[in-house]
Amino acid sequence: MGCCIVGCGKGLPLLDVTNDELAELVDTSDEWISSRTGIRSRRISVEESSLDLAEVAARQALGWDGETPGFKDQPAFAPEDIDLVLFATLTPDALLPSSAALLRRRLGLTNAVAFDLNAACSGFVYSLTVAEALMVASQSGTNGSKGRNKYRHALVVGAERLSRITNWDDRNTCVLFGDGAGAVVVEWRDDAPGIISSYIHNDDDTTNSLVCPASFDSPFVFDDNGVNAALANDPAGILADASLDRIDQELGVAEGVAAGEPRQAIRMDGQKVFKFAGNALTNAVLEVLDRADLTLDDIALIVPHQANERIIKFAAKKLGLGLERFQISIAHRGNSSAACVPMTLSDAYDSGKISSGDKVIMVAFGAGLTSGAVLYEA
Ligand code: ACO
C-alpha cells in the first residue's frame, strides 16, 4: 500500500525568450549562457499569473484536459475526490489568500484542505513528502478517538513566476530563470507501493548565498491612529533593531540596494550555490536509495531540479551514471524553482520514459538551504 502518482501535468506561459533576446538586455551571449548552463530559452509570464499556470497543470493532472500522458487507464478525478491541495511556490500572486486556497476555489475542490509551502526550489519535493506523511498518518489508528482528517487524494503543485523577482539588469541571475507550473495527483492505494522513501534536509545558508527580501516596508502593524506604538515607545531598543535596515543587513542586501538594484529581487552567489547543489543532489539520491534498501541499478530514471545542466552532469559523474538516466529539460525552460521537478516529471511521462513498475527518483535543492528527494514506483 502507498501513495501513488496517478496524474501529472504542466502549464507554461506563451512567451519564449531566447538567449539572443536576453543579450539585448544585458552584456551576455547565447554562447556563454548555453555553454555554462545548458539554457537556450525560457518561458516568461506576461499575461499569466502563477495561479493561471497552476490551473493548466492541475487540470491536466486531474485528467480534465483530454488524455493525461502516461496515465491512460486512469479515469478523470471528480472535484470532490481531492481532499488535500499543497501548493509549492516562492512567487504567490498574493500573500493572502494562499495560492492553494485560490486554486481550490478555481477548480471547485470543495472537500480539499489547501495550503502553500515555501522551500524554494525544493518546494515540490517537500510538498510531496508532506502530502505523503499526512496520507500515511490518516490511514493509521487514532486511539479510539475520531482522530484526524482522512486524505486519499492530494493535488501537489509547484508553480512560479520568477520573472517577477528577477533583476533584469543582473546578468549573473537573469539568464537562469523562467516561469511555469507542474502538478501531480497522488492517490492512496492498498495494492501498490507508490512512494517508497523520501528525504528532506536543511543546511544553514550562513553566507546568504541565495536571498530575496520581502517587499513589505514595515515590520510591525500600525494602531488605529497610524502610529506604530511599539516602535514609538522603544525607538532604539529590541523592536527597533528588527527594522528593515536590520533585515537587509541580515540578508546581506543593503549594499545592492544602495547601488540601485531593485530590493525585491533574487541575489545569488552562483559559485557557492553551485558547490552546495552538486553535493546536495548526490547526497539526496543516495539517502533515498539507502532508506529504500535499493541501489542505483534499481532506478529507471532520475528527475532532478533543473538549475544548471552542469550541476546535473556533476552529480551524474559522482554517482557513476550516464546522463541518459536523467530527465533533462533545462534547454527551453531554465530554472523555474518549485515548478521544475513536476514539469520535468511531466516531460518524462509525455515522452514515454516512465513505465508502470519503474522506480523513479525526484530530487531537488534550493535556497534555505533546502534539499530532498522522493523515490517512488510508477
Ligand atoms: N553572461 C556573460 N558573462 C557572465 C554572465 C552572463 N550571463 N554571468 C556571469 N558572467 C561572467 C562573470 O561576471 C564572470 O566574469 P569575471 O571572470 O570577469 O568576473 C565570469 O562570467 C564567470 O562567472 P562565474 O560565476 O565563475 O561563472 P560560473 O561558471 O560559475 O557560472 C552560474 C555561473 C551559471 C550562475 C553558476 O555558478 C550556477 O549555475 N550556480 C548555481 C545557480 C543555482 O543553482 N541556483 C539555484 C537556486 S535558484 C532559486 O532557488 C530560485
Question: What pLDDT is recorded for position 73?
Answer: 79
Question: What pLDDT is recorded for position 315?
Answer: 97
Cβ(185)–Cβ(9) below 8 Å: no
- 335 tagged catalytic: yes
Ligand 1: residue whose CA is nearest its atom 12: 172
Question: What pLDDT is recorded for position 242?
Answer: 54
Q: CA 214, 329, 345: angle at the middle one, nearest 5?
A: 85
- 121 tagged catalytic: yes
Residue 167 Cα, ligand 1 centroid: separation in angstroms?
Answer: 14
Question: What pLDDT is recorded for position 42?
Answer: 97
Q: Which residues of the chain fall short of a pLDDT of 50?
A: 218-220, 238-239
Q: How far apart are CA 161 and CA 163, in angstroms?
A: 5
Question: What pLDDT is recorded for position 230?
Answer: 56
Distance of CA 329 to the CA centre of its chain: 15
Q: Kindly write down the DSSP assignment for every residue of 170-238, as one continuous string.
A: -HHHHTTB-EEEEEEEEEEESS--BEEEEEEEE---TT--EE---S-S-SS---TTS--HHHHT-TTST
Question: What pLDDT is recorded for position 220?
Answer: 47
Instruction: Report the DSSP beta bridge partners of residue 370.
Output: 202, 366
Q: Which CATH class is domain 2-206+268-377?
A: alpha beta
Catalytic residue among 3, 305, 308, 340: 305
Q: How far apart are CA 189 and CA 370, in angstroms?
A: 29
Q: Ligand 1 within 6 A of 335 CB?
A: yes
Q: Which amino acid is at 317?
A: K
| pTM metric for this prediction | 0.93
Sketch the domain layout of the chain as residue ranges.
2-206+268-377, 213-264
3-state secondary structure of 162: helix
Q: Which amino acid is at 161?
A: R
Cβ(233)–Cβ(276) below 8 Å: no
Assigned C-alpha cell, 258: 544602495
Cβ(133)–Cβ(197) below 8 Å: no
Question: What pLDDT is recorded for position 260?
Answer: 84
Q: How far apart are CA 170 and CA 255, in angstroms?
A: 14
**Per-residue pLDDT tens over the stretch 179-227:** 999 999 999 999 999 999 999 999 999 889 999 987 655 444 555 555 5
Question: What pLDDT is recorded for position 172?
Answer: 95
Question: What pLDDT is recorded for position 252?
Answer: 79
Question: What pLDDT is recorded for position 92?
Answer: 94
